[in-house]
Amino acid sequence: MQRRYRIYDVFTEKALAGNQLAVVLDTEGLAQDAMQAIAREFNLSETVFVEPADNPAHSAKIRIFTPACELPFAGHPTVGAAVCLAAERFGEPEGEQDAVVVLEEAIGPVRCGVRLFDHSGFAEFDCPKLPAEIGPAPSSDAIAAACGLTSGELLFENHRPSVWSAGVPYYFIPVQNRAALAAVEAIAPAWEATFKKDGVFLYCRDPEGHDHQFRARMLAPTAGIAEDPATGSAAAAFAGPVLKFDQPTEGDHAILIEQGYEMGRPSIIRLEITVSRASLANVRIGGGAVRVMEGMLSA
């Protein structure tokens, strides 16, 4: 059976940048092991499979696979799938077209606002779970050994390593600057001993873009992702360290995170947070998506 698919570059406004995503639109008869095999065939950080929604009021159900496993939630698949499904509904708009897409994910329904352009779009969604700190971080010495750094290259200001989840767990590791960030490499077997199979989001307040707030890298080699160009689920959880260490004032805050620059896949993730009574009231993730190819799978 032939199945339609589209490839999007996500968290970018231009092709051949950002984080690649495969969206498989025709999933009739596909079992879970077949989805996993197709995700391995694409060999992108994530592949989305679109199924009919359980709730007729929703747009679709999506299942998200890395080359190694299924995920309950991820940011760039949510953005890319929302733009893809809006384009399926409206076609190629003349000018701009707004849409609302509700995706059923394993974590729960995710409501996305979409604006379509020619072959591209922008999507923003409210995170279905607010970040929660989920455990102590490893020691600085263990982190430095696993990342190929010295202890002196870790930390900045009052930021300290922490572990958070907004549906997917991540270690958040502050480093001194862009040079230290670029020097990071996963050192086996110290990496697996320190971080197990979770993703590691390393960040500094030394971005390249003058209107950006953070520079980041995300590595998860023990989960089958050597490095990810843009990680929306990590950006969602990153709202937790931002609140804890930066203590932003009451109200809305927009934070632009650059990621993927060291890979030659520059990406920009828009993180918006609403602070109320010193707590997070809402977290939103947004970014662009550009369609770069489409075709048929014979699987």
| Position 38 pLDDT exceeds 90 | yes
Give the active site residue among 13, 28, 46, 70.
Answer: 46
CA quadruple 288, 127, 114, 84: dihedral sign? positive
pLDDT tens per residue, range 139-186? 999 999 999 999 999 999 999 999 999 999 999 999 999 999 999 999
Res. 225 pLDDT band, cuts 50 70 90 = confident
At residue 201, the pLDDT reads 98
pLDDT tens per residue, range 107-133? 999 999 999 998 899 999 999 999 999
Question: Is the distance from CB of 34 to CB of 25 less than 8 angstroms?
Answer: no
Q: What percent of the chain has pLDDT over 90?
A: 94
Name the residue among 75, 55, 8 with its Cα closest to residue 291.
8
Res. 94 pLDDT band, cuts 50 70 90 = confident
Question: 43 φ, ψ to 5°?
Answer: 60, 35
Q: State which fold the 2-128+288-298 domain adopts.
A: Diaminopimelate Epimerase; Chain A, domain 1 (3.10.310)
- Per-residue buried b or exposed e for 77-96, using 16+ beta carbons within 10 Å of the residue's own CB: bbbbbbbbbbbbeeeebeee
CA quadruple 276, 259, 129, 131: dihedral sign? negative
Q: Calculate mean pLDDT across residues 180-209.
A: 97
20-to-48, 77, 179, 241 alpha-carbon distances in Å: 11, 9, 26, 27
At residue 281, the pLDDT reads 98
User: Which residues of the chain are in CATH 3.10.310.10 domains?
Assistant: 2-128+288-298, 132-284
Name the residue among 152, 215, 156, 212 with its Cα closest to residue 181.
215
| Position 188 pLDDT exceeds 80 | yes
214-to-64, 71, 217, 231, 271 alpha-carbon distances in Å: 27, 26, 10, 13, 11
Question: Strands 97-105, 214-220: parallel, antiparallel or unpaired by DSSP?
Answer: unpaired
pLDDT tens per residue, range 249-288? 999 999 999 999 999 999 999 999 999 999 999 999 999 9
Q: Calculate mean pLDDT across residues 30-55.
A: 96
At residue 1, the pLDDT reads 86
| Position 92 pLDDT exceeds 90 | no
Mean pLDDT computed over every residue of the chain: 96
Helix (H, G, I), strand (E, B) or coil at 147: helix
At residue 286, the pLDDT reads 98
pLDDT tens per residue, range 61-88? 999 999 888 999 999 999 999 999 999 9
Distance, in Å, from the CA atom of 124 to the CA atom of 258, rounded to the nearest integer, reads 17
At residue 280, the pLDDT reads 98
Architecture of domain 132-284: Roll (3.10)
The reply to whether 46 belongs to the active site is yes
| Position 299 pLDDT exceeds 90 | no
